[in-house]
Structures are given as C-alpha cells and as structure tokens.
Amino acid sequence: MELILATAACDPSVDIICAPANVNELFEFREAIFTIAGFPVTRTVILILSIALIVSAFLFFGLRKKSIVPTKFQAAVEAIILFVRDGVAKEIIGEHGAKYAPWLLSIFLFILVGNMFEVTPFINFPVTSRMALPVLLAVITWVVFVFAGIKRQGFGYFLGIIWPSTVPIFLRPLVGLIEFFSILILRPLTLAIRLFANLVAGHLMLVLLIVSGWVFISSVGDIGARAGIGVAWFVMGLGIFVFELVVIVLQAYIFTLLSAVYVQTSLYPEH
Amino acid sequence: MDQAAAEALAGAFKLVGYGLAAIGPGIGIGIVAGSAIEAMARQPEAAGLARTTMFLGIAFTEALALIGFVLFFIA
C-alpha cells in the first residue's frame, strides 16, 4: 500500500512510466511500530525474527521423527541439508568441510527465506535489501574465514597475505598490498553489495512495473485506450516475478558458495 | 544553469555511468557462461564442477556491475 501511495504524484495522462517520486523510500528507515526496552521494533525487525522462526520450524518439523523411510517433507529437508553439506561444504572446502556445514546451512536458509519475502504476497519486501543485513552476514563470514586462517596457520596467515612467498621478491610488496585489500576489505564488501544490489534491483523492477500497471489500469476512465499500456507493464512485471524466483535461490546459493570458497582459501592458501 | 537543470543533468550522467559500468561485466559474464557451456558439452561428466565454477566466475564478474548500480544511487 505504501508503494502505491508513492506514485500518488504520478499523472498517468502525462507520464509514460510512473516511477515512485522518491526511490529513497527503499533505503530510509521507517518509524518503529512499537518499542521493547528501548529497542525500536520496525517491520524489518519483525520479518528478521520471523525468518528465524520459519527456519527453525522448518528444520525442527522436518527432522523431528528420523524415520528410515522418510516422509516427503523430511526428504525435502534432508535434500537441502545434503545439498549444502556435500554440494557446497565438502566439495569446495574438502573432506574437513563438513565441520562448516551447519554455519553454511544457516546462512543459506536465512538468506533464502529472507529473499523469499520479496515475492511473498502481502509482504513483498526482501529483508536482505536493507544494507545492514547483508553487511552483518558478510562480517560474520569475514570473522569465520579470518579465524579459520589464524587457527590453521597461526599469524603466518596475515604474513602469507602481505608477503606472499610464492611471488618473486621484488613484486612481493605490490602483490601483498593488492592481496591485503582484496582479501580483507573487498571480499566482505562485494559479498554484501552483491546480495544487497541484486535484491534492490529486483524489488525496484517489480515495484516499477506492477505499480505502473496498476496506476494505468485503474485510471482507465480518464485516459481511455492508453490505459492498455498498463496491461503490458503488468504482464512484464509477472515475467520479472518468475525471473526473481531464480535470482532469489541463486543469490542465496552464491553467498553460501563464496563463503565456503573464502574459508577454503584461508585454510589451504597454496591452492 | 538553474538548479533543476543541473539536477536533471546529474541524473542523466548517473544513468550513462551505470550503462558504462555494465558493459564490462556484460561481456565478462558472456565469456564465462560461454566457456562453461563449451566445457559441459565437451565433458558432460564434469558438468557439476563446471556449473559450480561458472556460478563463482559470474559472481565475481557481476560484482563490478552491482557496484556501478549502488554508485548510481549514492553518487
């Protein structure tokens, strides 16, 4: 409803495309719905907490009765867990990767459900399009892969980054500088921006197309046959909906995959 | 130049900037996906490995376009 109000300034008899007047609507913080002990609770916070509930319930009810012949639901849950454990953790990190599987599974399911809110009717808001959440997830990944490196190689991990011994000695300062920036700064930054920008872009496309369609079709009395453009916007919006479903799953997968790759490179720097 | 015209011009430059930022990653993703298809066709038994590597390559390449997209909003 708020999104529809954003186009109130749009005059469909003049404008071809009705863009929300203020795109910053997506980035601004809304007022808190209520406050618990000084912590303001916004819609985003409620959605984040509901992600935790949904994921916990999904895993709990899926794995409650571990029968030999699984029900369909249990088989689906097990398929996702096996996909993350064998397809991501063991394949990327190696045999010892199963240790990281619970963390990767949490990241995967959290981002997947958070992204799914983008196409859930009546919610239509990907929680991961708030920059705070991708940044938090990227910082967690950063902490995990830096600590994995320190645990395995000691402080030689940092030495290996800024003074790489496989490079000719006169190139080491330059390569070390580039490696330092790319591993410790650019990695978490791009990890966060990738998730954030994909979801914002998808959300913007959906909002523009479907809201434009709604504005045009609903003003059929004023502008006559030109309202037909709205049908085209609407159909395109539904096409983007399907495309976004693919993006949602792919982004959750890519975030998990890249986290695993980063852990792998800090565990086995020779590869 | 008055204020409104300057803002409109700035918006137009942002759009051109994003368009330029999308050229390189567009070509790059094409190369990555094309090579992955070639690898899968030559060696179907290694398709899983090629697919995983393709997603990784796309993710790294795509980052540049997405940084351009974010700069479009904050510039």
Residues 21-60 of B with CB under 8 A from A: 52, 55-56, 59-60
* Beta strands per DSSP E along chain A: 34-36, 39-41
* Residue in A196, A186, A184 with CA at minimum distance from that of residue A254: A196
Task: Give dist(CA A16, CA A38) in Å, integer.
Answer: 46
Cβ within 8 Å, pair A197-B52: no
Please identify which residue in the block is written with the tokens 């990281």: A100
A92 contacts on B by Cβ (under 8 Å): 52
Mutation for testing the B interface, residue in A23, A93, A185, A193 having most B CBs under 10 Å: A193
> A190 CA to chain B: closest CA distance, Å?
6
pLDDT of amino acid A4:
44
Query: What is the predicted ipTM?
Result: 0.83
Q: Which of B52, B63, B69 sits opposite A190 (nearest CB)?
A: B63
Enumerate the domain spans of chain A.
Answer: 2-267
What's the one-letter identity of residue A26? L
What separation in angstroms does the CA of A73 have from each of A77, A90, A120, A141, A245?
Answer: 6, 24, 21, 30, 21
pLDDT of amino acid B37:
94
Please identify which residue in the block is written with the tokens 């469909």: A12
Quick check: A81 and A55 in contact, CB under 8 A? no
Task: Give dist(CA B23, CA B20) in Å, integer.
Answer: 5
Cβ within 8 Å, pair B67-A254: no
pLDDT of amino acid A50:
93
pLDDT of amino acid A228:
81
Kindly report the backbone phi and psi dihedral angles of residue A153, in degrees, each rounded to the nearest multiple of 5, phi listed first: -115, 0
Task: Give dist(CA A202, CA B36) in Å, integer.
Answer: 25
pLDDT of amino acid A16:
52
Q: Partners of A34 in the beta sheet?
A: A41
Cβ within 8 Å, pair A193-B70: yes
Cβ within 8 Å, pair A254-B55: yes
For B60, name the nearest residue in chain A, comparing CA atoms only. Answer: A190
B69 contacts on A by Cβ (under 8 Å): 197, 200-201
| 10-residue averages of pLDDT along chain A (271 residues) | 46 55 56 74 87 93 82 90 91 87 94 91 84 92 93 86 84 89 91 91 86 82 78 89 92 93 86 54
What's the one-letter identity of residue A33? I
Cβ within 8 Å, pair B52-A257: yes
Collapsing DSSP to helix, strand or coil, A29 comes out as: coil
Contact status of B71 with chain A (Cβ, < 8 Å): no
Model confidence, pTM:
0.85
pLDDT of amino acid A7:
47
Quick check: A216 and A233 in contact, CB under 8 A? yes
* Residue in A126, A161, A163 with CA at minimum distance from that of residue A51: A126
Residues B26-62: tens digit of each pLDDT: 999 999 999 999 999 999 998 888 988 899 899 889 8
For A258, name the nearest residue in chain B, comparing CA atoms only. Answer: B56
pLDDT of amino acid A55:
94
B52 contacts on A by Cβ (under 8 Å): 91-92, 257
Q: DSSP labels for chain B?
A: --HHHHHHHHHHHHHHHHHHHHHHHHHHHHHHHHHHHHHHHH-GGGHHHHHHHHHHHHHHHHHHHHHHHHHHHH-
Cα four-point dihedral sign B63, B65, B69, B70: positive
Q: Quick one: which H or E segment has residue A251?
A: helix A228-267
Quick check: A164 and A176 in contact, CB under 8 A? yes
Number of neighbouring beta carbons within 10 Å of residue B4: 8
Cβ within 8 Å, pair A92-B55: no
pLDDT of amino acid B3:
81
